[in-house]
Amino acid sequence: MTVNDDEAQVLDQWTQRLAQALQILDLDVDQDLLLDLARKSADNVIHAAAPITTFLVGYAAALDAGTGSAGSREAASAAVAKAARVALGLVDDGAHGGPAGRGWADTGQ
C-alpha cells in the first residue's frame, strides 16, 4: 500500500501516539511491511482480512519475542518479520488456498 508524504507523516505521528498510549516504548514499526501485508490480505482474501491478519501477525510476534523487558527491540523486529512471512505466504494463496485450506493438516498443531 502506497501512502503519499502527507499520509506518511500522519501515519508516523499516529503510530508514535498509539505506541506511547499502549506503553510500547522504543519500538520500530515496519509500516511498509504491515501496509503491504494488509493490502495483500484485502486484495487476495477479503477486505476485512486486513486488520485481522495484521493483528494476528502482531500477536504471533509478541508470543515469539517475549513480553515486557524479556523481549528486545531486535527480537521484536525479527518476530514480526517471521510472522509476516508466514502470513504473506498464506495471503498469496487467497482465501481458500495454501496449508490452512486443509485445516490442521501438515501443521505442528
**Tens digit of each residue's pLDDT (9 = 90 or more) over 70-86:** 557 777 778 888 888 88
Q: Is the pTM of this model over 0.85?
A: no
pLDDT score of 54:
92
pLDDT score of 88:
87
Q: Sign of the C-alpha dihedral, residues 16, 53, 88, 94?
A: negative
Average pLDDT over every residue of 39-63: 91
The reply to whether 43 falls in a domain is yes
The reply to whether 18 falls in a domain is no
The reply to whether 1 falls in a domain is no
pLDDT score of 65:
75
- Alpha-carbon distance of 42 to 91, in angstroms, equals 9
- Alpha-carbon distance of 40 to 37, in angstroms, equals 5
The reply to whether 46 falls in a domain is yes
Look up the domain containing 88 and give its range: 30-99
The reply to whether 2 falls in a domain is no
The reply to whether 20 falls in a domain is no
The reply to whether 107 falls in a domain is no
Average pLDDT over every residue of 92-108: 57
**How many structural domains compose the chain?**
1
The reply to whether 75 falls in a domain is yes
Q: Which residue has the higher pLDDT, 75 or 17?
A: 17
Q: Could you tell me the three cell numbers for 68?
A: 515486557
